[in-house]
């Protein structure tokens, strides 16, 4: 009696946020042969917003990692195969078994046709429907299908039809497959598209003449032989634009050419603010948190928003015309430079926090950003932003609006400067504030009033108490 062999389960890259189309595999936490349990973290992925840890939807033994670290994968593409061994603990509908018998799959691979074991190939399962996933909404089944094989006379063969085993190993052949498309896996196709390389112009060096990543890089670099890595020369370096940097570039370009930006500047004597920061550090309410001038800048901006609600708005184009949506809450964004690039995590409902609570929220936000643990929820739904360029030793700048927001405040470095104080020249602590705003929503009078309010509160922090509601 022959014991049936269980088929590996395929876990597809899920949609971890509405609208996600792709993600980069950052780090695998498992390797082939490892035993995994339900909800065990198996991989870290980087989306356009954050690094996310994905849990395993079932238990078993890792059969194969279908993509490598550093690869960018489309949502719905299988990333790992796990042999569940017919045991329980499987989360149904989160992965699919290999649908082809082993002999047929081997024959298909010999033909040069990717099987469902290969990344990006999903067998049809009936009418499209949403697949439950551990996070997000998932993708529609059947939206990606295996290409039909071509018979010797050019006719399409059904995927279920048996294929005769080849008598001898086939010799490498040109890249285009029988359907006229170059033979390459989805990640390779995407890389070629991103680099502007025409796959039809490449002769593949992989199995059955398939095009590999090295072939694409060689073609992009103009190398003579396939597989030669990109060599930009000692005076140049090519850095792929992906992940956070890619998302930031798209967002900033869209913002700069959509919202008419205006930037105003104000130099402020913040000597009293710096003295207040020292006094706050001595209070028991702040014993367990870091107190910096940014805390009082944030409180001043929140107070200015309460006095001038229109600055905390967004422009919305609808079927019945444009609208200005005034937010009665403040999700305060704090721009943070990280190893992954610039991100803007948000302090949600910052207007409801007292000063110690705001200090703790800013500390937690900074720690998560530095550790790369900011979630997509932490990075979304902002209403107004602060960028602290002073930490880089910069006096000021013209910040670009976060898309969907009406204003962003830049806080420059605090340094000793000669200043006229109470009618006499003195050395004071001075900073430069810059407020960029969407001129469709915020006119010059409102923008100036908001900037002046923030400056007045930083010159004399007692005004924060007088103006708070």
Question: In this structure, are strands 313-318 and 332-338 parallel, antiparallel, or unpaired?
Answer: unpaired
Q: Which runs of consecutive H residues, i.e. helices, occur in 201-270?
A: 213-221, 243-256
By 3-state DSSP, what share of the chain in percent is helix, strand and coil, each rounded to 5? 25, 25, 50
Phi then psi dihedrals of residue 348, to 5 deg: -75, 135
CB–CB of 4/35 below 8 Å? no
Structure tokens at 335: 């721009």
Partnered with residue 409 across adjacent β-strands are: 386, 435
Structure tokens at 2: 């022959």
Catalytic residue among 29, 261, 351, 439: 439
66-69: which pairs have CB atoms within 8 A and are 24 or more residues apart?
66/10, 66/117, 66/118, 66/119, 67/25, 67/119, 67/187, 68/25, 69/25, 69/26, 69/27, 69/28
Residue keyed to tokens 């009696």: 1
CB–CB of 134/94 below 8 Å? yes
Nearest to 341 by CA among 243, 200, 422, 251: 243
- Containing H/E element for 307? helix 293-307
- Beta strand extents in 5-57 (DSSP E only): 9-12, 22-28, 35-36, 41-46, 51-55
**3-class secondary-structure state, position 42:** strand
Decide if 439 is catalytic. Answer: yes
Structure tokens at 72: 């960018």
If 0-12 CB within 10 Å is exposed, 13-18 middle and 19+ buried, where does residue 50 land? buried
Phi then psi dihedrals of residue 41, to 5 deg: -65, 125
Distant-in-sequence, close-in-space partners of 138: CB < 8 Å, separation ≥ 6: 14, 15, 130, 131, 132
Q: Which residues are catalytic?
A: 439
């Amino acid at each position: 009696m022959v014991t049936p062999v269980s088929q590996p389960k395929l876990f597809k890259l899920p949609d971890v946020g509405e609208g996600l189309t792709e993600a980069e595999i950052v780090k695998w936490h498992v390797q082939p042969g490892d035993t995994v349990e339900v909800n065990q973290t198996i991989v870290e992925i980087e989306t356009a917003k954050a690094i996310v840890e994905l849990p395993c939807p079932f238990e078993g033994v890792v059969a194969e990692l279908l993509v490598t670290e550093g690869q960018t994968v489309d949502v719905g593409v299988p990333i790992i195969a796990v042999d569940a061994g017919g045991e329980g603990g499987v989360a149904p509908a989160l992965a699919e078994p290999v649908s082809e018998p082993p002999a047929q799959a081997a024959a298909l691979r010999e033909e040069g046709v990717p099987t469902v074991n290969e990344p990006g190939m999903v067998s049809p399962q009936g009418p499209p429907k949403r697949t439950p996933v551990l996070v997000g909404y998932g993708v529609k089944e059947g939206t990606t299908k295996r290409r039909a094989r071509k018979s010797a006379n050019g006719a399409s063969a059904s995927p279920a039809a048996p294929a005769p085993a080849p008598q001898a190993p086939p010799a490498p052949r040109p890249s285009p497959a029988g359907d006229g498309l170059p033979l390459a896996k989805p990640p390779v196709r995407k890389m070629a598209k991103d680099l502007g390389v025409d796959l039809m112009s490449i002769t593949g060096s992989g199995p059955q003449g398939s095009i590999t990543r090295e072939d694409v890089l060689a073609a992009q670099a103009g190398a003579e032989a396939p597989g030669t890595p990109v060599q930009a020369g000692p005076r140049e370096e090519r850095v792929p634009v992906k992940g956070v940097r890619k998302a930031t570039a798209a967002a900033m370009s869209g913002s700069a050419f959509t919202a008419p930006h205006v930037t105003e500047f104000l130099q402020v004597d913040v000597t009293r603010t710096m003295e207040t920061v020292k006094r706050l550090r001595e209070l028991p309410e702040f014993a367990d948190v870091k107190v910096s001038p940014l805390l009082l800048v944030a409180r001043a901006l929140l107070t200015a928003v309460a006095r001038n609600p229109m600055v905390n708005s967004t422009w919305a184009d609808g079927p019945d015309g444009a609208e200005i949506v005034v937010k009665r809450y403040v999700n305060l964004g704090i721009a943070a430079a990280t190893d992954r690039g610039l991100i803007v995590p948000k302090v949600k409902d910052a207007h409801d926090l007292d000063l110690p609570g705001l200090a703790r929220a800013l500390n937690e936000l900074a720690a998560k950003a530095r550790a790369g643990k900011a979630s997509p929820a932490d990075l979304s739904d902002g209403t107004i932003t602060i960028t602290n360029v002073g930490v880089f030793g910069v006096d000021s700048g013209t910040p670009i609006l976060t898309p969907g927001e009406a204003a962003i405040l830049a806080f420059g470095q605090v340094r000793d400067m000669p200043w006229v104080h109470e009618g006499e020249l003195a050395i004071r602590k001075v900073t430069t504030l810059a407020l960029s705003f969407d001129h469709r929503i915020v006119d010059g009078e409102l923008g100036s009033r908001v900037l002046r309010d923030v400056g007045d509160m930083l010159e004399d922090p007692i005004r924060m108490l007088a103006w708070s509601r």
